[in-house]
Structure 1
Amino acid sequence: MGNYASASSLPPFKHDKNFKIWFQLLRPHTLTAGFIPVFVGTVLALLDGFFRLDLFIAMLIASLFIQSATNMFNEYYDFKRGLDHENSVGIGGAIVRHGVKPETVLRLAFVFYGISLLLGLYICFHSSWWIALVGFICMCAGYFYTGGPYPIAYTPFGEITAGLFMGVIIVSISFFIQTGFISLQVILMSLPLSLLIATILMANNIRDLDGDKQNGRKTLAIMLGRKNAIICLSIIFGLSYLLPTLFIIFGYGSLWLLLVAFSIPHAIKAIKGFIGKIKPIEMMPAMKATAQTNTIFGLFLSIGLLIHYFIENYS
């Protein structure tokens, strides 16, 4: 904290180092949770014959900005509650390492929310004003994940909340703004993505288990204990891969959905990366592998859907 005054006096983006500070504040490794659901929802709309590039871009940027703002709220409130320090792993570190004023981080988060709101108004104008209500609820969930008197992140419900809002709801919104309706297939296809987004939070909480426990958090990982939390993570990964198989069996997808299996090595790497590890820094490769699993799974899910569509319609 000794560099607080000097670092906060530097103008943002003056040189590469400053840019890196602000970029790390976004926690870019988590942004896959904002991109993949929008992409999958839009692909599903395309398969039904609906696609508007402007709505896709607006939804994508809004989702990424909400995710980034949520990360900034996390950075701000964890600092205020004394959870983050200079040696904390997995944070942006703008406040505790680089001396950025906490209020600057908080204001920037609300600026990002403001931009998302403007994009949301554009989306509503070209789709439905019901999206405004759903979007507002999503933004509230992002804020209260670490903000407010009873942060969701401090409870066992963080994974469920993240999976629901960043999975089912974002996929559904991305589909709805293109088509004007919701189908059962959309809900089903969003489920494995919701589970994989939950794994990102679970992995984060396994890594931070000891520190979170000392600071009074009661995350699912803490409630289960480290060993059982890793088992739970493995089960969630397993369910993510089981669901596409069930979709195929019951006629909600083609064999091309099995392309998601290309992401399995990353899931295995993530699980192995947590076993026997205690120090947070040792678990960072596992964190990276978890995020990569979500990204690669979502991309191959979309590719499988598109291949089936083109075979059915153009062969």
Structure 2
Amino acid sequence: MARTKNTTHKQGRSGNPAKAATPVRSKRRATARDWIGGARLRTLTLGVVPVVLGTTVGFVDSGTTGDFGAFLAQDGHLAIALLALAVALFLQIGVNYSNDYSDGVRGTDEYRVGPARLTGAGLAKPGTVLTVALTFFGLAAVAGIVIVVLTQLWWLLLVGAAAIVAAWFYTGGKKPYGYNALGEVFVFVFFGLVAVLGTQYVLIGQATTSGWAAAVAAGFFACAVLMVNNIRDIDEDRLAGKRTLAVVVGRPVARVLYGLFLLLPYVVLLWFVLLYFRTGFTYFSLLLALPALAIGVSSRKPRELITALQLSSFASLVFGVVLGITLAVQP
């Protein structure tokens, strides 16, 4: 079954399709495919990459004698790493459903260019989408509490609570900060610094310089994915009153920022190459990042940016996995 879009666009005199858009609400109910689409699986790389990097950087900075497998086998490291991954993925999925709900009830998604949203397209009741979002936030909280119990780092409860609150108020509440050009700050902090350094800390009890470098790289990738998504939706967001960073600075500057966010991780990568020469293989992920950049800075139609979004997300995944593997196999 073809995926239903929730918008149709007719070009107006201004050349801005958003100004002539007519919202279309679906008459059918959400299918399993719609719910899976609502989870926005492409964005889950933002949860996977930080945990992979936090775990492997934790290994190389732990001073452990033995290989990566031995590191995972000791002190419950494998269980803790998997729980950290669960926290990141559940939180990311919760954010996606929360955004679907909040943007939908505000009417922000009525003129959406990308794939249909559950709430905005009328595929599911707002309360149902909200319940699903809160369920995933709850699952993230449970996994986080288990980590706290295993590590006895009780102050991490405050970090976890802050992450869930920040996830909700990204587009939820009366004054969501995602509507005030602060979305990139959120993803950089929580899907970069907190996710990577938090994973490293629960494994080895410290946050190292390499941990900070990996966290910054992951954070920039998260910013790149969000920025290209917001460039795609810039006209619709402006019409709906959603002041993303892309809306505030305008399309030309937003394209420049997207390029910086996408390429800065490769500058940070030099730190690892100087320490561990095998990590240089990570530069092969530029084969995905550069086409994404080319599309992102030259696209004329919003739908073209969907490809840039997909390539950016995949580039971040390849970057994280290859860097993680090359760190894990260091002699």
Partner of 1:129: helix, strand, or coil?
coil
Partner residue of 2:309 out of 277, 287, 308 = 287
Q: How many residues align?
A: 295
- 1:25 and 2:6 equivalent? no
Partner of 1:280: helix, strand, or coil?
coil
Q: Report the equivalent of 2:102.
A: 77
Name the CA distance, whole Å, in 2 between partners of 1:113 and 1:184. 30
- 1:270 and 2:285 equivalent? no
AA in 2 matched with 1:93 = R
Q: CA deviation at 1:3?
A: 5.0
- 1:100 and 2:124 equivalent? yes
- 1:226 and 2:254 equivalent? no
Name the CA distance, whole Å, in 2 between partners of 1:41 and 1:190. 8
Superposition pairs for residues 205-244 of structure 1, below 5 Å?
205-244=230-269
Asked if 2 retains the 8 angstrom alpha-carbon contact of 1:25 and 1:91, the reply is no
- CA distances 1:92-136 after superposition (whole Å, capped 9, x unpaired): 522244621110000111111111111111110011112111111
- Structure 1: state its 5+ residue gaps: 9-17
AA in 1 matched with 2:114 = G
Asked if 1 retains the 8 angstrom alpha-carbon contact of 2:210 and 2:272, the reply is no
Superposition pairs for residues 1-315 of structure 1, below 5 Å?
3-4=26-27, 7=29, 18-47=31-60, 48=62, 49=64, 50-51=71-72, 52-85=77-110, 88-91=112-115, 93-97=117-121, 99-127=123-151, 128-249=153-274, 253-307=275-329, 309=330, 311=331
Name the CA distance, whole Å, in 2 between partners of 1:243 and 1:268. 17
Name the CA distance, whole Å, in 2 between partners of 1:183 and 1:96. 43
Name the CA distance, whole Å, in 1 between partners of 2:115 and 2:174. 21
Asked if 1 retains the 8 angstrom alpha-carbon contact of 2:181 and 2:248, the reply is yes
Name the CA distance, whole Å, in 1 between partners of 2:139 and 2:167. 15
Asked if 2 retains the 8 angstrom alpha-carbon contact of 1:26 and 1:92, the reply is no
Q: Report the equivalent of 2:7.
A: none
- CA distances 1:58-116 after superposition (whole Å, capped 9, x unpaired): 1111211111010111001111111113x623355222446211100001111111111
- CA distances 1:170-228 after superposition (whole Å, capped 9, x unpaired): 01111112122222221122111111111011111111111111122222212222122
Partner of 1:126: helix, strand, or coil?
helix
Asked if 2 retains the 8 angstrom alpha-carbon contact of 1:73 and 1:106, the reply is yes
AA in 2 matched with 1:238 = L
Asked if 2 retains the 8 angstrom alpha-carbon contact of 1:40 and 1:171, the reply is yes
Q: CA deviation at 1:246?
A: 4.1
AA in 2 matched with 1:261 = Y
Name the CA distance, whole Å, in 2 between partners of 1:34 and 1:236. 17
Asked if 2 retains the 8 angstrom alpha-carbon contact of 1:42 and 1:178, the reply is yes
Name the CA distance, whole Å, in 2 between partners of 1:291 and 1:248. 23
- CA distances 1:24-46 after superposition (whole Å, capped 9, x unpaired): 11010101001110111111223
- Report the CA distance shift for 1:245/1:133 in structure 2 as closer, same or farther (over 3 A): same
AA in 1 matched with 2:227 = M
Name the CA distance, whole Å, in 2 between partners of 1:269 and 1:256. 24
Q: CA deviation at 1:304?
A: 2.3
AA in 2 matched with 1:34 = G
Name the CA distance, whole Å, in 1 between partners of 2:160 and 2:116. 26
Q: TM-score, normalised by structure 1?
A: 0.88
AA in 2 matched with 1:123 = I
Q: TM-score, normalised by structure 2?
A: 0.84
Asked if 2 retains the 8 angstrom alpha-carbon contact of 1:27 and 1:92, the reply is no
> Percent of pairs identical after alignment?
29
- Report the CA distance shift for 1:46/1:246 in structure 2 as closer, same or farther (over 3 A): closer
